[in-house]
Structure 1
Amino acid sequence: MADFETDYLIIGAGAVGLAFADTLLDEDPDCHITIVDKHARPGGHWNDAYPFVALHQPSSTYGVNSMELCPDRVDQHGHNAGMYPLAKHAEILAYYSKLMSERMIPSGRVAYHPLTEYRGKNEAQHSIKGILSGEERSVTVRRKLVDGTYFKTSVPSTHKPDFEIAEGTRFTIPGDLPGLWKDTGNLPDHYIVMGGGKTAMDTAVWLLEAGVSPEKIGWVRPRDSWMFNRKLLQPAYHRIEGLIEFQVALVEAAAASETGDAMFEELGRRGTMLRIDEDVIPKMFHFAVISEAEIAMLRTIKTVYRQGRVTKIEPGKMHFAQQSVDVPENTLFIDCTASAVPFEARGTVAKFFDGDTITLQLVQAPFVPYSAALGAFLEANFDADDEKNALCPPAPLTDTTDTYPYAVMANLMSTAILSNNEKTNAFNAKSRLHPTGPAIARMMAEGDPRLAALGKIGPKIQSNMPGVIKLGMAAKAIHEGV
């Protein structure tokens, strides 16, 4: 006999699992949900993130459907000035704690088990185990297991460096930087940021804003990255013009290009995409969003190492596969090499709905919470797995300029599928997590004159779609290694 029963057992109390649970509470008022997570509080990988991390995109479409994340206002200072707010680390954790304590648990329909790991299924029962207590309990799941851990997010504090660190080397992770004030008599003379992704960019910006001179910062950047220009990705109701410009630029650049690199070059010319070094052609694209002000700051760092990946660090020296370079003796190396999402897992695509298991994945890249919430809506409002899966084919998790056109094509096809279904179209119109749905519904209700410009997007996409598909299919072949 099981220790307890539930309708849905959700693995993970992070952005994915909580977005699913939140929508399921509203869409299926009779179900009971049990959530297990290894962390001590809700928020998933945000618990492990560095304290100065913030969302890349405006907070208006992050979190869960039932609760706003940040006030609807414009930032007045800093590198996000003139744009809508980016929730910070502490705000995100407080948000998820409030969601759990004020909505989920008080509903009487959610059981939350922190510091608990899912152990698997044995015949008809599932097993969970308390990490600190060691107590193992069995669970009867009346309906489905929901896996919210597909993305397996990696952050510096949980990542193991894949290079050698010699004894006596000053080495740290981004999360420890704010504590440097505790030992002001032993501050480093120089800093080297290791990694080319958004974590490295956040870290470099933090150092610069903390007063470190650009001359005292080195940056190991084996690959450069393209990034979305944040000014075009503001909340739809307030800045619909930017989103129109962004979408039109994507389809026109894709349709006019023979390769992903050519597409990015055109998007860079238009200002839709940004890069740090104008003399370097980036090959990496991880859906990061950045402001022009941050780019200007990052360009002040002139010491950039492009010798490839680091193999070993030691006092006064840094080693690469084919070369070693001298660095200042009292250098603090900062490891930013963790990949937030393990793109190497992109080939492991499961069915979203598969019998008694739901594997939460991307439906539209990179909208992770929206995709999870849509999954809950489909679960509650459609019956057959085949029908549900047809509405949410998993979006590809691409990571290079060569493969990104595949994601563009897949997103456009997903939008068409969901728009052509009466139920999912209605869901998008009310989902806070959808980038445009509620804004367009509000504009229609108000008779907003901006709808005239919005109405031109459909024909523009349709006329460019053959070119988008041609480039997207070529990118798909690269992505799948065909």
Structure 2
Amino acid sequence: MARTLEADYLVVGAGAMGMAFTDALIDHADVRVVMVDRRHGVGGHWLEAYPFVRLHQSSAFYGVASTLMGGGRLQQHGPETGLQERATVSEIRTYYDKVLTERMLEPGRVEFRPNCEYVGDGTVVSHISGERSVVPPGCRVVDARYLAPDIPEETPPPFEVGEGVRVLPVNDLARLTEAPSQYVVVGSGKTATDACIWLLGRGVDPDAICWVRPRDPWMLNRAVVQPDPAVFLGMAADTMAAAATAASLDDLFLRLEEAGIMLRIDRTVTPTMAKTPTLATWELEHLRSIEHVVRRGHIRSVRPGKIELEDGVVEIAADALVVHCAASGLKYPPLVPIWGPSAITLQPVRAGFPCFGAAITGYVEATRADDAEKNRLCPPSPYGNSLTDWATMNVLGTRNTMSFGAEADIKSWADTVALNPARIPPGHDGGAALDEALGRLQAHLRPGLARLAELGGVPD
């Protein structure tokens, strides 16, 4: 007979979004939560991430609302001196373990069941013991896996691999014991840029790297995405000012590049990808040193000495090591109402910043009774992929920010939460820079948002 779990909520997935939702929920409602995950601990994909990964954004923007990740410190050394600290993978894992044990388990508000799978109908099955457990009727299911990323360590290469070819996930770079004469890095996103930066930092000659980049990416300048209200709101104001007068999406991104907001690796190529992770200018300089860039579509197969792509064949070294960075780190399933009849499906609420979106979803769930009202306050926003997707993400995310920001209690709470990039902390003394940024944002927000919606084809 299946054991019945004592639970008001069953949170399926203990990654970043599941943890952020649970943390905010138990902080504002007297409820019992059971959290399950197929992995052995909390932290989601960070438990399997490549060893040299670190957050692309400031640590303060990541984690849960109750507990600041890191110390909110500025970097004192290195090429990012003056920017906010960014956690390493080991720091992220330690952080989530601490939040679980000290914030959730010790007060007895949360029961965590690792190595378990939710199989539907309120039933949880252990991968280890085979034990089946059920939640009681009325328990709300929270789907924190809807946007769970794929990572190279757990995802086969999306191309055929011929006999005798060395193809390794990016995780295995740090375990190499013998250098090849050539590295072939496959992927256009953050993982591929991390791999290239890591190789260059270990003394690999740029000419020994072949970068297969099916699409060129736009990336955000990390210096303007900082947990400083004057800096972040100034960036938002510049974005809306650029959007208000942009002739097209390509023109908008070029204007944002001119304003120091967007970066591209090759200024002779107009990017078509806009997932927009942050990148530092020092990283950009290193990436530009790699001249062997292959832009012939996606790889179909890798054979000894050659790569077959959608648009031709490229020769590689006989002993080349192909570095697989091509998993789908961001997912783009259809947007669904967060509060649905069978589950609460976690999705971003403002543009990007998924941890804040999950936290505000937990707060709204704890403080509102009607699901229709919750969905009105917090409809979902997608991730960016194409330039049009990026425009949609920002239009919907900005509209959402205006919606929940009009609620006095939500705004008051959100201004205390470091995850919120647009917060103005209580007691903040403002200053001329913040006043100037707020004035520009107020002037440009509505015309910029209207034009951005027009460019992205987003209905009113």
TM range (shorter): over 0.9
Match of 2:105 in 1: 105
Whether 2:270 is the aligned partner of 1:281: answer yes
Q: CA RMSD in A?
A: 1.7
Residue of structure 1 in register with 2:335 after alignment: 349
Q: Percent identity?
A: 34
Indicate conservation of the 8 Å contact 1:189/1:330, yes or no: yes
Distance in 2, matches of 1:468 and 1:415, equals: 12
> d(CA) in 1 for partners of 2:163 and 2:382?
42
Asked whether the equivalents of residues 218 and 262 of structure 2 are also in contact (C-alpha less than 8 Å), the reply is: yes
Q: Aligned ranges for residues 308-457 of structure 1 at < 5 Å?
A: 308-343=297-332, 345=333, 348-355=334-341, 357-437=343-423, 439-443=424-428, 446=429, 448-457=431-440
Matched with 2:204 is: 212
From 239, 247, 250, the equivalent of 1:250 is: 239
Q: CA deviation at 1:342?
A: 2.0
In structure 2, what is the equivalent of residue 117 of structure 1? 117
SS in 1 for 2:314: strand
Aligned to 1:10: 11
Match of 1:151 among 147, 153, 162: 147
Query: Take 2:167 and 2:342, find their aligned partners in 1: how far apart are those partners?
Result: 46
Secondary structure of 2:427's aligned partner: helix
State the secondary structure of the residue aligned to 2:252.
Answer: helix
The residue that corresponds to 1:459 in the other structure is: 442
Number of residue-to-residue matches in the alignment: 458
Distance 1:331 1:310 in 2: 15
The answer to whether residue 443 in structure 2 is matched with residue 470 in structure 1 is no
Instruction: Determine the structure 2 residue equivalent to 1:195.
Output: 187
Question: What are the within-5 Å matches in structure 2 for residues 5-44 of structure 1?
Answer: 5-28=6-29, 30-44=30-44
| Distance of aligned partners of 1:279 and 1:447 in 2 relative to their CA distance in 1, 3 Å threshold | closer
Secondary structure, aligned partner of 2:372: helix
The answer (yes or no) to whether the contact 1:129–1:136 under 8 Å persists in 2 is: yes
Deviation at 1:448, TM superposition (A): 4.1
Give the aligned partner of residue 127 of structure 2.
131
Q: Identify the residue that residue 81 of structure 1 maps to in structure 2.
A: 81
Q: Distance in 2 between matches of 1:88 and 1:360?
A: 25
Write the distance in 1 (CA, Å) between the matches of 2:112 and 2:76. Answer: 38
Aligned-residue offset at 1:357: 2.1
Q: Is 2:218 the partner of 1:226? A: yes
**Cα distance in 2 for residues equivalent to 1:143 and 1:319:** 51
Give secondary structure in 1 for the equivalent of 2:457.
helix
Q: Does 1:261 align with 2:250?
A: yes
Instruction: Tell me, yes or no, if the aligned pair for 1:5 and 1:142 is still in contact at 8 Å.
Output: no
* 1:182-224 Cα deviation digits (max 9, x unpaired): x3xx321110101111100000000001111111111001110
Q: Where does the alignment leave 5 or more consecutive residues of structure 2 unmatched?
A: none
- Secondary structure, in 3 states, of the residue corresponding to 2:426? helix
**What secondary structure is seen at the aligned counterpart in 2 of 1:279?**
coil
SS in 1 for 2:241: helix
Residue 467 of structure 1 and its aligned partner are, at CA, apart by 4.5
Describe the SS at the equivalent of 2:8.
Answer: strand
Measured at CA, do residues 175 and 44 of structure 1 come closer, stay the same or move farther in structure 2, by a change above 3 Å? Answer: same
- Amino acid corresponding to residue 116 of structure 2 in structure 1: T
Q: How many angstroms apart in 2 are the aligned matches of 1:263 and 1:207?
A: 33
CA distance in 2, matches of 1:179, 1:436: 40
Find the residue that maps to 2:326 and give its secondary structure: coil
How far apart, CA to CA, are the structure 1 residues paired with 2:90 and 2:125?
28
Q: How far is the alpha carbon of 1:241 from its aligned partner? A: 3.6
Give how far 1:354 is off: 2.2
Q: Secondary structure at the match of 2:290?
A: coil
Which has the larger displacement, 465-474 or 216-225? 465-474
Give the aligned partner of residue 51 of structure 1: 51
Q: Which 10-residue stretch deviates more, 19-28 or 79-88?
A: 79-88
Separation in structure 2 between the aligned mates of residue 470 and residue 233 of structure 1, nearest angstrom: 23
State how far apart, in whole Å, the 2-side matches of 1:349 and 1:406 are: 12
Q: Is the 8 A contact 1:429 1:441 kept in 2?
A: yes
* Distance in 1 of aligned mates of 2:108 and 2:28: 16
Unaligned runs of 5+ in 1: none
The 1-side partners of 2:452 and 2:353 are apart by 22
The TM-score normalised by the length of structure 2 is 0.96
Runs of 4+ in structure 1 off by over 6 angstroms are none
Q: Give me the whole-angstrom Cα distance separating, in 2, the residues matched to 1:470 and 1:456.
A: 19
Q: Say if 2:193 and 2:287, in contact at 8 Å, map to a contact too.
A: yes
